[in-house]
Amino acid sequence: MDQLLRAGIRLAPGEKLGYLLCDAHATVKEDRVRPAQLLGPEDGYDSDEYLRLLLDAAEEVLLFFGYDRAQLEEKIRPRDDSRLPKVQELDFARSAVS
Give the percent of the chain with pLDDT over 90: 23
Domain residue ranges of the chain, discontinuous segments joined by +:
2-97
pLDDT value at 25 more than 90: yes
Contacts of 29 (CB under 8 A, 6+ apart): none
User: pLDDT tens digits, residue range 28-58?
Assistant: 998 999 998 898 888 888 988 998 998 899 8
The Cα–Cα gap between 44 and 87 comes to: 6
Instruction: State in Å, rounded, how far the first CA of the chain is from the last one.
Output: 20
Confidence (pLDDT) at 83: 57
Confidence (pLDDT) at 16: 87
pLDDT value at 97 more than 90: no
Give the chain's radius of gyration (CA, Å).
Answer: 16
Mean pLDDT of the chain: 82
